[in-house]
Structure 1
Amino acid sequence: MMQKILVTGATGNVGQEVVRLLLLQNCHVYAAVRNPPSDKQILGSDVECIPFDFTNPDTFTEAFKEVNKLFLVRPPALANVRQQIAPALNAAKLAGIEHIVFLSLLGAERNSFVPHSKIERYIEQLGVPATFLRCSFFMQNLNTTHCEDIKTRGELLMPAGNGKTSFIDVRDIAAVAVRTLIEDGHQSRAYALTGKEALTYYEVANILTSVLGKQIHYNPSLLKFVQQTRSSGLPMDFILVMIAIYTTARLGLAGTITSDTEQLLNRSPMTIRQYVEDYAEFWL
């Protein structure tokens, strides 16, 4: 039977790659998006775009009615799990969703402040079979969230101190996600997904400098980070979540290296140098 899978966050870094790989596996992919006409141009004609908004319950019934599995991505701007995420999860259970694969955060089981932890607990309370992909810091955040800082100011600005981070490429995350969605045996499991090396942001800046051929320096100032993100219009809830994530790195808790990614993919995870080489055009 063909798998019918709803992908939230389908136009994001991980979501787009998950959609692409699911289509290669002959799955029927539904993209839960806020603007189907424009998002279909991004995702392509093989994807059925379904109107969906976590903050609009009127969109839930139609989105969940045809699917049996859900790839769940928390929208970064939504931090109140009880009000902004839980109603959609309730609707998914009522619709008979058989399996949720949730894009979570490395260490979420030990960090109750981050929304990912609250979502994990809520899914467990619902009793829907689930797989939690607890991912380390995405390499691709450097060419999205932090792209302008790197490109225009030659600066990596994040309050992570001298702590190491086991960065992971979203292409590896998506490959793992697809396996857990289409294969049996991953329900009620949590995977800690990391890259193969743990680096400080000073080391990342050096790799960027080496590959791009221009000087990139790392600035760990918390005050400047808050000022910069506020001036760019990001909501304070979102900024506080980012600070919590970077604090994890600063305290030395983000440098864990696990074997889960390599075991699930049967290959070594991508390195950050490989990532920078592949994405260099974003910062030039």
Structure 2
Amino acid sequence: MLNTNKKNELELIDQPILVLGGTGKTGRRVVERLKAREIPVRVGSRNGEQPFDWEDKSTWVSVLEGVRAVYIAYYPDLALPGASDDISMFAELALKNNVKRLVLLSGRGEDGAIQSEEALKKSNVEWTILRCSWFNQNFSENFLVDQVNDGTIALPVGKVTEPFIDVEDIADVAVKVLTEDGHVGELYELTGPRLMTFKEATEEIAKVTGRDIGYVELNIEEFKAGLKEAKTPSPLVELLIELFTTVLDGRNSEVKNGVQRALGRKPRDFREYVQETVVSGVWNK
């Protein structure tokens, strides 16, 4: 006969982990890893089986019912006004629904992200924060993939360096802190192993692909005009302008050891990411 504590542990194991943004860059990889380990998963998205929308708070309660932990990827970005209020309200609601742990995907150098981190810390939930640098996969998924395929990456950033992080590493860390003990109250700054400029990253892609891909530094007005010409939604335009004028000002030009601390191994190098992406064929379209 099982003792009460053992029974409670088994019941908790049967409870799903909720992944908000479960179809995004990091979220879908977290979902894949959890499913591979046969851990019950609930995907939180607007088109999910149980729909979740940050702008529709009526969807928050049902998606939290019966879950043991939540991975939070806020859409569209924690830098936007009101994000910290949403995180605070969601954490309070999670606590009322007996959710044991919240893991927040955050961004380095973003004031809005820091506010959201503080809102989570002030709650009484078990929290872990993953504060990440610029994703490698921004070059191959959505944002810059068309520019790579067109042969020119044009951005309003010059010699500022960034420790690009692979989202595969982020997903590995997320799954570990969601499913194992010893990570509550930890803030992991996740970066790649070296600093690179965007021009150097472009040259790395060109070298491995064997293609002529150039980098052009724009001024901010040229960048803004290009976004508007591409009919980019206004909130996203404002977010990108904030990113390139504030966050990418050198404040994040430092490699951190978050991946090593969480996983006990070094993070993937940008070149490894490029080599794997070339094989996928996404840059051949």
TM-score range, shorter chain: 0.7 to 0.9
- CA deviations over 1:56-101 (Å, ceiling 9, x no partner): 1221121001102110001126723256554434322322222110
Alignment match, 1:68: 68
Deviation (angstroms), 1:226: 1.4
Deviation (angstroms), 1:149: 1.6
Provide the alpha-carbon RMSD of the alignment. Answer: 2.0
- CA deviations over 1:137-174 (Å, ceiling 9, x no partner): 0000111211112212x122222221110001000000
Alignment match, 1:202: 199
Alignment match, 2:158: 161
Alignment match, 2:229: 231
Structure 1 residues 189 and 169, CA, compared in 2 at 3 Å: closer, same or farther? same
- Residues 69 and 181 of structure 1 are in contact (CA less than 8 Å); yes or no, is this contact kept in structure 2? yes
Q: Distance in 2 between matches of 1:200 and 1:192?
A: 19
- Residues 54 and 88 of structure 1 are in contact (CA less than 8 Å); yes or no, is this contact kept in structure 2? no
Secondary structure of the 1:103 match is strand
When structure 1 is superposed on structure 2, of 65-74 and 83-92 the one drifting more is: 83-92
Amino acid of the structure 1 residue aligned with 2:18: L
Q: Distance in 2 between matches of 1:213 and 1:200?
A: 20
Alignment match, 1:104: 106
2:239 is the counterpart of 1:241: yes
Secondary structure of the 1:283 match is helix
Structure 1 residues 133 and 82, CA, compared in 2 at 3 Å: closer, same or farther? closer
Structure 1 residues 52 and 200, CA, compared in 2 at 3 Å: closer, same or farther? same
* TM-score normalised per structure 1: 0.86
2:43 is the counterpart of 1:31: yes
Secondary structure of the 1:157 match is strand
Which residues of structure 2 form unaligned runs of 5+?
A: 1-9
Q: Distance in 1 between matches of 2:261 and 2:57?
A: 39
Amino acid of the structure 2 residue aligned with 1:205: T
Alignment match, 1:211: 208
Alignment match, 2:217: 220
Matches within 5 A, 1:112-261: 112=111, 115-143=112-140, 144-152=142-150, 154-221=151-218, 222-248=220-246, 250-261=248-259
Secondary structure of the 1:13 match is coil
> Whose Rg is larger?
2
Find 2:27's aligned residue among 4, 15, 33.
15
Q: Distance in 1 between matches of 2:198 and 2:103?
A: 30
Alignment match, 2:55: 55
Amino acid of the structure 1 residue aligned with 2:108: L
Secondary structure of the 1:101 match is strand
Secondary structure of the 1:241 match is helix
Secondary structure of the 1:71 match is strand
Which residues of structure 1 form unaligned runs of 5+?
A: 37-48
- Residues 77 and 237 of structure 1 are in contact (CA less than 8 Å); yes or no, is this contact kept in structure 2? no
Deviation (angstroms), 1:197: 0.9
- Residues 164 and 249 of structure 1 are in contact (CA less than 8 Å); yes or no, is this contact kept in structure 2? no
Amino acid of the structure 2 residue aligned with 1:218: Y
Q: Distance in 1 between matches of 2:255 and 2:92?
A: 34
Amino acid of the structure 2 residue aligned with 1:60: W
Q: Distance in 2 between matches of 1:92 and 1:213?
A: 49
* TM-score normalised per structure 2: 0.86
Deviation (angstroms), 1:253: 1.8
Q: Distance in 2 between matches of 1:77 and 1:166?
A: 20
Alignment match, 1:46: none
Q: Distance in 2 between matches of 1:136 and 1:197?
A: 12
Q: Distance in 2 between matches of 1:196 and 1:175?
A: 16
Structure 1 residues 283 and 24, CA, compared in 2 at 3 Å: closer, same or farther? same
Amino acid of the structure 2 residue aligned with 1:127: N
Q: Distance in 1 between matches of 2:249 and 2:179?
A: 36
